[in-house]
Amino acid sequence: MNGYADSDWAGSVVDMKSISGYIFTIGSSAVCWNAKKQGVVVQSTIEVEYIALAAAANQAIWLSRLLANLGQEQNSPTELYCDNKSVIAIAQNQVQHGRTKHINVKFHSIKDAEKNLLVKVHYYLTDIQLTDIITKALPRSRL
């Protein structure tokens, strides 16, 4: 199973909140997806992407447990793809830095998920990010 997480920073012009989204695939089929306005106003693109990645990691854990209950247990971590290298570095670093201190503690679950080998975060090019279709207004050529 693969997951793709992305966001649209301050996409709402009304309240400056961002939209987070994720898509999970098994093989070439999308099996789960979600796009939702975040409940908080964030201060940076890194923060908004980190929140989206944390939501995707939580969903990945739930999906892998569901699959295990259905007799389809995974032998490896769920691969999560993100288009922000700074977010990946923060998620993979077990040390809490001053730059992430303002991010709500609940979003740091991604660190534990990666440490416990439930998910593995990888970089994915922005130009081919699947989640853009549910988080951003795209030109016809990208659709």
Q: Would the pLDDT of 143 be above 70? A: no
6-20, 21-35, 40-54, range with greatest mean pLDDT: 21-35
Q: 10's torsion region: left (phi>0), alpha (psi -120 to 50) or beta? A: left
> pLDDT over 90 for what percent of the chain?
37
Please give the average per-residue pLDDT across 125-131, as a whole number. Answer: 78
Coil/strand/helix, residue 31:
strand
What is the per-residue pLDDT for 117? 86
Which residues have a Cβ under 8 Å from the Cβ of 28 and sit 6 or more positions away? none
Residue 129 pLDDT > 70, yes or no? yes
Length of the chain, please? 143
The one-letter code for the residue type at 143 is: L
Q: What is the DSSP letter of 52?
A: H
Cβ-based neighbours of 86, under 8 Å, separated by 6 or more: 46
Q: 81-115: per-residue pLDDT in tens?
A: 999 898 888 888 756 565 665 566 566 677 788 88
Whether 134 shows a pLDDT value over 80: the answer reads no
Q: Which of 13, 5, 1, 12 is nearest to 81 (CA)?
A: 5
CA 5 to chain centre: 3
Report pLDDT for 51: 87
